[in-house]
Amino acid sequence: MATTTATTADAPAHEHAHHPPHLQHHFVSSEQQFDSAKLGMWLFLITEILLFSGMFVAYTVYRVWHPETFTAASAFLDWRLGGLNTLVLLFSSYTVALSIHYAQKDRLDRTFWMLVITLACAGVFMIVKAFEYGGKFAEGVFPGEAFDPVGHYAPLADIPYARQFFSIYFVMTGIHGFHVLVGMGIFLWLLFRVRRGDFNSEYYTHIELAGLYWHLVDIIWIFLFPLLYLIGHGGGGH
């Protein structure tokens, strides 16, 4: 900060000499460019939080209206698969935080491998999710009108409003899963750019912002896991 103030006076002549290639002309310094990008990302994350909060509101309203349905229907979700996915996402959040840590220390080789692990974790998450969805679709557990449970899920047909619970489940986890897929695309793109040598400890904005996005996806799952998977296994005879 102090350096910025000191150089402002002779900025035009002086700064152009040290103009780093990534610095765009409408910013005073790399610092300001980085901070602006980050604030913009936080504003975007707030819109994401509000998008998901609409679904959390639907969840809350239906759970307040039909608490027994939520407890009974939730018991048909496999908490072990949900728990596994929670650990996978937490680990990927850790590795993406480490990728930024290493970028700040100019260890871009490690940044690359941390991003590879993050991408792999996202892949594992989607594969587990595919198995969960597949098992439900095979036995007629669909969102909305098509809901017609058979086999293992047959008892759901006798639970009033079980269809609403599963519609909420599919929409919330589905839109979350879509965010995981988008994240995978972003990490793949970052891997190419890291390999190409685009980033260094002075300029790693893209990795920082992708990390923020990925942590938000993790936070949404931190709430989805107990609220969807764990409410049917507590005491009280369920």
Partner 1 sequence: MSHGHHHIIPFQTLTKVFIGLVALTILTVITARLDFGPLNFLHVPIAIGIAVIKTMMVVLYFMGLKYDNRVNGLTFGIGTIFVLVFIVITLFDTAFRGDLGNVDTETIMDRQREEQLLQQREPDPDALRVAPGAAAAPDTAAATDS
* By the rule CB under 8 A, 57 interacts with partner 1: yes
Nearest to 132 by CA among 80, 176, 64, 181: 80
CB nearer to partner 1: give 84 or 126: 84
By the rule CB under 8 A, 51 interacts with partner 1: no
In the set 15, 27, 81, 104, which binds partner 1 (CB under 8 A)?
104
**Does residue 130 touch partner 1 according to CB under 8 A?**
no
Hey, what are 154's tokens?
């047959």
Residue type, 53: S
Residue 68 sits in the site that holds partner 1 (CB under 8 A): no
Considering only residues 46, 138, 182, 188, which one is a binding residue for partner 1 as defined by CB under 8 A?
Answer: 46
Among 155, 160, 174, 234, binds partner 1 (CB under 8 A): 234
- Binding to partner 1 by residue 43, rule CB under 8 A? yes
Q: Which of 61, 127, 130, 188 binds partner 1 (CB under 8 A)?
A: 61
Tokens of 49: 């939080």
Q: Which of 8, 28, 53, 130 binds partner 1 (CB under 8 A)?
A: 53
Residue 81 interacts with partner 1 (CB under 8 A): yes or no: no
Residue 236 lies near partner 1 (rule: CB under 8 A): yes
Q: Compute the half-sphere exposure of residue 41: CA atoms within 13 Å on the CB side of its CA.
A: 18
Nearer to partner 1, 1 or 158 (CB): 1
The reply on whether position 22 binds partner 1 by CB under 8 A is no
Contact assessment for residue 238 and residue 92, using Cβ atoms and an 8 Å cutoff: no
Which residue of 97, 126, 171, 191 would you call a contact of partner 1, by CB under 8 A? Answer: 97
Given candidates 28, 87, 127, 138, which one binds partner 1 under the rule CB under 8 A?
Answer: 87
- Residue 231 CB, shortest distance to partner 1, in Å, is 7
3-state secondary structure the chain: CHHHHHHCCCHHHHHHHCCCCCCCCCCCCHHHHHHHHHHHHHHHHHHHHHHHHHHHHHHHHHHHHCHHHHHHHHCCCCHHHHHHHHHHHHHHHHHHHHHHHHHHCCCHHHHHHHHHHHHHHHHHHHHHHHHHHHHHHHCCCCCHHHCCCCHHHHHHHHCCCHHHHHHHHHHHHHHHHHHHHHHHHHHHHHHHHHHCCCCECCECHHHHHHHHHHHHHHHHHHHHHHHHHCCCCCCCCC
**Residues forming the site for partner 1 (CB under 8 A):** 1, 3, 30-31, 34-35, 38-39, 42-43, 45-46, 49-50, 53-54, 56-57, 60-61, 64-65, 79, 83, 86-87, 90-91, 93-94, 96-98, 101, 104-105, 201-202, 211-212, 215, 218-219, 222-223, 225-227, 230-231, 233-236
